[in-house]
Amino acid sequence: MRCAIVGSGLAAIAGYATLRHGGIRPEELTVFGTHEDPTAAWRERASAIRQRRMRSESDGHVAAAAFPGLAVRETLREGRLKPLLQTATNRYHPLVEDFVRHTGRVVHESGWERSFVRHRIERIRAVDGGFELDGEGPFEHVLVATGHPGLMRIPNAVHAYEPHEYASRVAIVGVGMAAATEWLNALAAGAEVISIRRREPLRRPLNVPRPYFSKRGLASFHALSDNDRATKLHELAAPSFPAGPEWDRPLASAASEGRLTILRGGSEEAQTWPPDLQVICATGFRKGYSHDPLLADLVEAHDLPTHERWIVLDPDSTIPTLTDEARTLALSGVAAQWAFPAADTIAGAKYAARAFLRRLCRTR
């Protein structure tokens, strides 16, 4: 059997670890990517917004087995029960450094370096016996985990996910997790902050409501018509950040002091501010397969079914017109939202990887 993973980020290592745990050998797997360290791109973004804790919970790690989670590991390492008590009430969020350290251990123990090939794949083609990747192959089974298709930028602004400091007056565009983190960062640096927003953010602990991580919630999602599913995905994409005093207290204090001002508007308004005002774009990533050159080319070359900005997938994250009993082409990460609404999370990456592994085991 010859299998390939296209991509080398967090979704890729979560998929690789799952396949290795399921008995797929390193010599059967080829990982094509640009970063030998799967955390490299993510760490750069997390560092830019000074992120200290994950939004995910104890089982938000890249190892194949959910147990032991990061809360258990922290309890054993620190000799404190607090992480376990917090995870029992869904209040535990691991430190970024703990997540990175654990991911490094998974990378080392899984044999990732034995499968990794530094190469950016630009073309996938269905051929007899599987798929060719830039002429390499054929590979019978391919998992595409290319991640977000680039940052959403506005002119004359620094992006929140790129290294930056804070001026004395800062305008932050957006209201999601990155924007909320940047409000606190800039205020802590002594800046006067203007929050530019089109709408109010939702307050929820995870990227999407918890039921969509369950079998029952996914069953109801998969039962929706294409139009209703797209509508639901648009709703779930609304910007949000968690509720809690660690957010609310400093923001309320800054507002009462006149250091935090809310301005209704969008990026157009931000571009009209004077040059002495620093503008930070915290609007996240570009959305849709058309912004990913590899996926856009795949859709055009094979006339794949799409709906709005999503590639239409089966519930197991596979592309139905290119998947049969002998071969598999599946998506993981944000591009797989048609199958799993929270596909851009570690849980979403494992969902796609486990379904992919089941197909490999059947064909083997």
What secondary structure does DSSP assign to 112-135, as a single string?
HHHHEEE-----EEEETTEEEETT
Averaged over 10-28, what is the pLDDT? 97
Amino acid in the structure at residue 22: G
Residue 186 pLDDT:
98
3-state DSSP assignment of residue 240: strand
In angstroms, the Cα distances linking 118 to 34, 43, 288 are 5, 19, 25
Q: What's the pLDDT at 304?
A: 98
The answer to whether 176 and 281 have CB atoms below 8 angstroms apart is no
- Tell me the mean pLDDT in the region 289-304: 98
Task: List, for residues 164-211, the tens digit of each pLDDT value.
Answer: 999 999 999 999 999 999 999 999 999 999 999 999 999 999 999 999
Given this model, what pLDDT does residue 267 score?
A: 61
What's the whole-number mean pLDDT along residues 247-262?
96
For the cut 90, the answer to whether the pLDDT of residue 275 exceeds it is no
Question: CA torsion sign, 237 to 238 to 239 to 242?
Answer: negative
Contact 92, 120 (CB under 8 A): no
Per domain, the residue ranges of the chain are: 3-150+287-363, 158-201+239-281
Residue of 194, 148, 142, 86 lying closest to 309 (CA atoms): 148
The sign of the torsion formed by the CA atoms of 334, 335, 341, 346 equals: negative
- Flag whether pLDDT at 10 surpasses 80: yes
Q: Which residue is it, tokens 């804790």?
A: 53
CATH class of 3-150+287-363: alpha beta
Q: How far apart are CA 321 and CA 142, in angstroms?
A: 14
State phi, psi for 271 to the nearest 5 degrees: -75, -10
Output DSSP code: residue 236: H
Round to whole Å and give the CA distance between 279 and 326: 52
pLDDT by residue (tens digit) across 31-56?
999 999 999 999 999 999 999 999 99
Residues 276, 169: contact at Cβ < 8 Å? yes
pLDDT score for 274? 76
Which residues does 201 contact at the CB level (< 8 Å), separation at least 6?
A: 175, 176, 179, 180, 238, 239, 240, 241
10-45 burial string, b = 16+ CB within 10 Å, else e?
Answer: bbbbbbbbbbbbeebebebbbbbbeeebbbebbbeb
Q: DSSP letter at 2?
A: -
- Band (pLDDT 50/70/90 cuts) for residue 269 is low
What is residue 35's three-state secondary structure? coil
Distance CA 250, CA 260 (A): 10
Q: Provide the percentage of residues in the chain whose pLDDT is more than 70.
A: 98
56-105 per-position pLDDT tens digit: 999 999 999 988 999 999 999 989 999 999 998 889 999 999 999 999 99
pLDDT single digits (tens) 341-355? 999 999 999 999 999
Mean pLDDT of the chain: 95
Sign of CA dihedral 341, 148, 34, 4: positive
Strands (E) across the chain are located at 3-6, 29-33, 116-118, 124-127, 130-133, 136-139, 141-144, 158-159, 169-173, 192-197, 202-203, 240-241, 260-264, 278-281, 306-307, 310-311, 328-331
Closest CA to 353 of 17, 7, 4, 39: 17
Q: What does pTM read for this prediction? A: 0.94
pLDDT for position 156: 86
Average pLDDT over residues 106-119: 97
| Domain 158-201+239-281 CATH (choose: 3.90.580, 3.40.50, 1.10.3470, 3.50.50) | 3.50.50
Any idea which residue has 């980020």 for tokens? Answer: 9
| 3-150+287-363 and 158-201+239-281 share one fold | yes
Is the separation of the CB atoms in 172 and 238 below 8 Å? no
